[in-house]
Amino acid sequence: MNNIMIGRFVPGDSWIHRLDPRTKMIGTFIFIFVMLWANSWATYAWSAAFVFAMIRLTKQPFKLYWDGLKPIFWLILFTIILQLFFTPGEPVLFQAGPLKITVPGIINAIYVMIRFVLIILMSTILTLTTAPTSIANALESLLKPLKKLHVPVAELALMLSIALRFVPLLMDETQKIMNAQKSRGMSFSTGGPIKRARAIVPLLIPLFVGALQRALDLANAMEVRGFQDATQRTKYRILSYGSEDSKAFAGLFIFSVLFIAIKFFIKY
């Protein structure tokens, strides 16, 4: 639970931390879009080098990012298995009924794993170096043109900010409940899968009760402070692009151009 990085912000003074949140959000979206085009070892190697360079620029230990990957290990493994057994092609290395392992399946499984890991790492860079309120403000600013279509952009940004703030709180609350039940003799790591699943059930009631109580407290606090319409809120921190953001966009442009060149001119 403590390793889940979604919604967690680690303060720092790195170059990545100082960038405008809109720059980091746009850069993350562009990277994810570019990664969907990766189809060779060279493109994945270049993308991995770019991600690891970004991690170094955050001045955060790589162990922090590695620990953040551990909670989703089973999701990655499940995706790899699907690609491994259900990708057609030749030659066939192993077959058992409808399930078969092929060379294209192995390559595709490795590709999917690398893509999955790199996208998660890049998204983690965004959340670790950007406060949840800044992410919400950046999203509201980027979606501002949709206001002409009567899309409640301010309300959506507010909900995102609250959700990002509540995710780590719920994880911490879950850990506290687990520790309390462990002190009373409950075990979450022994027995078969069915026994472990049953052991999780007693966590749900106090967790949901606590989440609902937090939501009611938040709603009461907003009402007491006179909150009525998110569109009328003023901003304490005004977002503005600077020279560092221009350098970031230039670096992202160079990465994208070289990625396209590698994709079309290097065939391995």
- Report the alpha-carbon distance of residue 230 to residue 9 in Å, rounded: 24
Segment 104-124 mean pLDDT: 89
Owner of token pair 């999701």: 75
**What's the pLDDT at 259?**
93
Predicted structure pTM score: 0.78
- Report the alpha-carbon distance of residue 108 to residue 82 in Å, rounded: 10
Please determine, for residue 21, whether its predicted confidence score (pLDDT) is greater than 80: yes
Please determine, for residue 47, whether its predicted confidence score (pLDDT) is greater than 90: yes
Residue range 150-164, pLDDT digits in tens: 888 877 877 877 777
Q: What is the mean pLDDT of the chain?
A: 83
With pLDDT > 70 as the criterion, what percentage of the chain qualifies? 91
Pair 68, 4: CB distance under 8 Å: yes
Please determine, for residue 2, whether its predicted confidence score (pLDDT) is greater than 70: no
**What's the pLDDT at 232?**
63
Owner of token pair 């965004």: 126
**What's the pLDDT at 52?**
94
Segment 88-97 mean pLDDT: 76
Closest CA to 134 of 29, 22, 10: 22
Pair 16, 111: CB distance under 8 Å: no
Owner of token pair 């499940």: 78
Residue range 210-219, pLDDT digits in tens: 888 888 888 8
